[in-house]
Structure 1
Amino acid sequence: MRNTRAIVITIFAFALMWGCRCGKKPGPDPVLDMGGFPDAVGKIIVGKCATAGCHNAASYMNSAGLLLDTWQHLFDGGNSGSSVIPYSAEFSPLLYFVNTDPARGTVATPTMPFDPSGVNANKLSEEEYNTLKEWITNGAPDRNGNIAFAADADTRQKVYVTQQGCDLVAVIDAASGLVMRYIKVGTNAGTTESPHCLRTSADGRYAYVSFIGGTGIQKIDTRTDQVANTTTLGVGSWNILYVAPHDTMVATTDCSTNGRIVYTRTGSMTIAPELTGSGSGLFVFPHGITSNEAFDTCYISAQYGNTVYKWAPTVPYYKAISIDGSPTVVTTPSDLSSPNPHEIMMIPDRSRYFLTCERTNEVRVLDARTDAILAAIPVGTRPQEIAMARTRPYAFITCMEDENVPSGRRGSVYVIDYNTYEVVKVIKGDFYQPHGITVDEYSGRVYIVSTNASDSGPAPHHATACFGRPGWYSIYSLNTLEPVNTKRYQVTVMPYSADVRFK
């Protein structure tokens, strides 16, 4: 009977991407301390979930790879990443799978604790469900009050990913690779403001977020993972932001027909009007932005056309640079004849910058001092974001719609040697419309974010508490350019931009 039950569980788990291989994970067995959980919680998780054929040491690999016999093992996560997010009951998948009442929140199947008869005879009572929900809302502490990932707040390495469909920022613990917190961002609870771009300061002390559906930018304290301040820039499509090398200013682009470049002082989070550029067609659909080391000259890509703006507001100096040798032109989204430069990023010594060209499927390289065109490198379909490594001469390019990939996948990542302009490797991994990307030099890892925005993309492991199709991130080794594991770390809807805390 026990074997039959295990087989049924495995079939259900495989169908929902929970299955894997059998194995045993070392660690303490639950004892009288309820595996380190508070008593009321341990009675539920250890007593009803970490049982034979389910989430115990002998069989957890066939149950989503999620081991629940101790509090510590819970925060090792499973095949789809985090199961519990401290302080975020709304976005903790564990609650989805033990919930049978849509009125309480998100419901996922198969219902846990699992009942092979299919009648949910083992389902949790409302009191038990509320016990778990309250526990997670309060940080999901162990029996001694410890909160997962709370130690070393000043030095913990993290990766931040905007969740454009949910007005959230996911905080990833670099040591485990798991989402450790969700930060609610935006200022209007009744409207999705779509956090678009996130960039951290050079010292890793703050992160800054722009909103394409909002009216400004927000500053996040990376020690507390709380919004520290908000600056209102006005109505606009606030796309890319760029933090000055010494964290004195943040420059933000309003990607509109008559666009703007707005500078914000990071200390006070107030606008510097004397530096702001706007009006009279000065910037048309400005999108990507970067600067020289002194931050007195910025380079801005015009999203539609063949133009980069070179802008030194204190001189003032303004120049429109052609990226393809033709006369400069800035057009509209309907134009299909121009390169359409999307993102722009300097190489580490700031002598040259790379541009992703959406329509021509190439990366162009220009000299930052002479404005000369140095290279045009063919890449995959619809190149988007760029991440630069320092310990290796690599530029990583996400190609969102590349179809020359394994069946059921879409998108690739091109790795280019930024000294020789040679393509080192084309990564065709477990991606679907990859967009955000960042390099963590300290752990030797690359984080690649799949938006999974198309309805034809893979079904997610589970729904989330916000409307839409969830995406995920994958982790690769910077040294080997191979995946560090086979996990698909699911997040919420439309994960978009990524940056690492300490560079």
Structure 2
Amino acid sequence: MRIAGAFILFLTLWCFCACKHETLKPKTATNPTTLSDNYPDDISKIVINRCATAGCHNSASYENAGGLLMDSWDHLFDGGKNGAVVIPYDIENSSLLYFINTFADLGPTALPLMPLDQPALSREEYIQVRDWIAKGAPDKNGNIPFASNAATRQKIYVTHQGCDLIGVIDGEKKVVMRYIKVGGTLNNEISDYVKISTDGQYAYACFWNGNTIQKIDLSTDSVVAEAKLPEAYWKNIFITPDGQRLLATTWQSATIVAINTGNMQVEQTYTGFQYPESMAGNTMGTYYVTERFGNTLCKLSANGNIQKISLDGKPLTTIPAANTPNPYRILMSADNTKYFVTCENTNELRVFDAQTDNLIKVIPTGRMPQEMAQSRTHPYLFVTCTNDTIATGVVGSVYAINYNTWDTKRLEGKLFQPHGIAVDDRNGLLYVFSRNQDKSGPQPHHISPCNGRNGFYNLFSTSTLLPYNNSRYEILVDPYSADVRFK
């Protein structure tokens, strides 16, 4: 598969023009005479002699070669300006393979062909690299990238609505380290939401076009169990503080199910909702549910009783109109004293007292506020505003709201339709995931086996509220929901 001419030209300019990365951290070059590059011998002969050469991916030239340094095994897995190029065990999503392949029967091909201005890799050389990645891309001693400290490694998880994969980002290197195959037998079940247990041991994923909720072991990054459900259109997951139950919303029957996380069996079903979207809860067993359209918030008790709360003080309605809030996401504050609701139709955040359900504050935001994430080391609530019009080539913004003073700041960056958002307080970073579905958005750096345009993520510092760097880390199609392993 070959990319069209305009795309080829773009790729050439993107990767190889003299465009210095302003905040790229210097890397110590590998001196072959004093330090091993740590590749297996057969791979070293190819990478060091054909890729990590003058004018390409060595220490003297890599800044102008997509920021990708390949002079050692360790540096390879830092990725480049566009993120990871090798995903262990995953030849379909390791973009390095696209650019070194000239054999149509062996997989996708992308230009500019690498090595640049040199003879192409032979069929045997390409197969060697491909098979090495398929085996996990180990170093010369058999160590697999990102495999150490599996029980404690900080990771960020993101769903992709364009394919049945969940991306896993390493908290230290900040690049994609794995893709987890999720879903069932359908071609694309549209993974809609991912939520991680408070102990960081499991994640749970639900699907818009599927009838399961899957349980993922975060030490092995593999699906280990699932709940079989009678219908589809699953939208949101809430995990109780003790980790023993999860509650999930579905549009199909307008119900909420409670699932035992130990055996993944449905224990209870709650009815009486209209398009239940998002959930939050406190330590007292009280749950809040947004109804997607209108102005209604439902307060659900453990015995199934529902109290309806008007978000704007007007008569309750579940019918959208020009001035209805249309609540999207709800989030409980870390101290359980208040809860936040994004109102995407009225472009505002509404803050309520969790004891009295009285409105505390209405905070204007950008257009179409949706997802939220909260820092626990800095007093900020972050909100993605998907449709903010900022500048040419930039759509969407993030609002940082100080939940002590209610001061707001709009974070601007190279975003396009941002939706998923996650705070990694361990590393002081905010992850913002741009869907990039509109064709007027940034042209993806490389192709994808998924159907559609690749998305990307940007990083911001939670202390300065400024971009951490100028990188757009490319990721698979339509990144949608995200969560961090250890809060």
TM bin, normalised by shorter chain, reads over 0.9
Q: Is the aligned partner of 1:203 residue 2:199?
A: yes
- What residue identity is the alignment partner of 1:157? Q
User: How large is the RMSD of aligned CA atoms in angstroms?
Assistant: 2.0
1:171-194 Cα shifts (integer Å, max 9, x gaps):
111111111111111112x42011
* 1:299 aligns to 2:292 (yes or no): no
The reply to whether residue 218 of structure 1 matches residue 214 of structure 2 is yes
Residue in structure 2 matched with residue 6 of structure 1 by the alignment: none
Identity %: 45
- Aligned position for 1:118: none
Is 1:158 the counterpart of 2:170? The answer is: no
- Give the deviation of 1:19 after TM superposition: 4.9
- Match runs of 1:16-415 below 5 Å: 16=15, 19-21=18-20, 25-31=27-33, 35-115=37-117, 122-188=119-185, 190-256=186-252, 258-273=253-268, 276-278=269-271, 282-294=272-284, 296-314=285-303, 316-331=304-319, 335-403=321-389, 405-415=390-400
- After TM superposition, give the deviation of residue 313 of structure 1 in Å: 3.3
Q: Cα deviations across residues 402-428 of structure 1 (Å, max 9, x unaligned)?
A: 00x2321100000111233221x1001
- Tell whether the 8 Å contact from 1:17 to 1:461 is kept in structure 2 after alignment: no
Equivalent position amino acid for 2:254 in 1: G
Whether the aligned pair in 1 keeps the contact of 2:12 and 2:111 (CA below 8 Å) is: no
Instruction: Report if aligned partners of 1:105, 1:465 keep a CA contact under 8 Å in 2.
Output: no
The letter for the 1-side match of 2:308 is A
CA contact (8 A) 1:347 1:418 kept: no
When residues 29 and 11 of structure 1 are mapped into structure 2, their CA distance, relative to the original with a 3 A threshold, is: farther
* Aligned mates of 2:448, 2:10 — CA distance in 1: 23
User: In the alignment, does 2:469 pair up with 1:485?
Assistant: yes
* 2: CA distance, partners of 1:451 / 1:459: 12
Deviation, structure 1 residue 245: 1.0
For residue 336 of structure 1, report the CA deviation from its aligned partner: 3.5
Give the gaps of 5 or more residues in structure 1: 1-8, 116-120
Q: Secondary structure at the match of 1:36?
A: coil
Partners in 2 of 1:32 and 1:429 — Cα distance? 41
Distance in 2 (alpha carbons) for counterparts of 1:259 and 1:317: 15
Cα distance, 1:18 vs. partner? 6.6
| Contact residue 344 and residue 353 of structure 1 kept, 8 A | yes
The whole-number CA distance in structure 2 between the counterparts of 1:289 and 1:197 is 12
Kindly provide the amino acid, as one letter, of the partner of residue 261 in structure 1.
I
CA contact (8 A) 1:33 1:39 kept: no
Q: State TM-score, norm by structure 1.
A: 0.91
Whether the 8 Å CA contact 2:30–2:36 is kept in 1: the answer is no
| Rounded Cα–Cα distance in structure 2 between residues aligned with 1:59 and 1:392 | 38
Q: Deviations over 1:139-191 (max 9, x none)?
A: 00011101111111111111111112111111111111111111111112x42
Shift of 1:11: 9.6
Measure the CA separation in 2 of the matches of 1:439 and 1:483: 14
Question: Is the contact between residue 257 and residue 270 of structure 2 (CA under 8 Å) also seen in structure 1?
Answer: yes
For 2:133 and 2:452, locate their aligned partners in 1 and report how far apart those are by CA, in whole Å.
24
Whole-angstrom distance in 2 between the partners of 1:247 and 1:27: 46
Structure 2: runs of 5 or more not aligned = 1-7
Q: 2:459 aligns with which of 475, 478, 481?
A: 475
Shift of 1:356: 0.6
Distance 1:50 1:13 in 2: 18
SS at 1:415 equivalent: strand
Sort the Cα spacing of 1:336 and 1:69 in 2 relative to 1 into closer, same or farther, 3 A: same
Distance in 2 between residues matched to 1:485 and 1:372, nearest whole Å: 40
Question: What's the offset of the Cα at 1:73?
Answer: 1.1
Residue aligned with 2:427, SS: coil
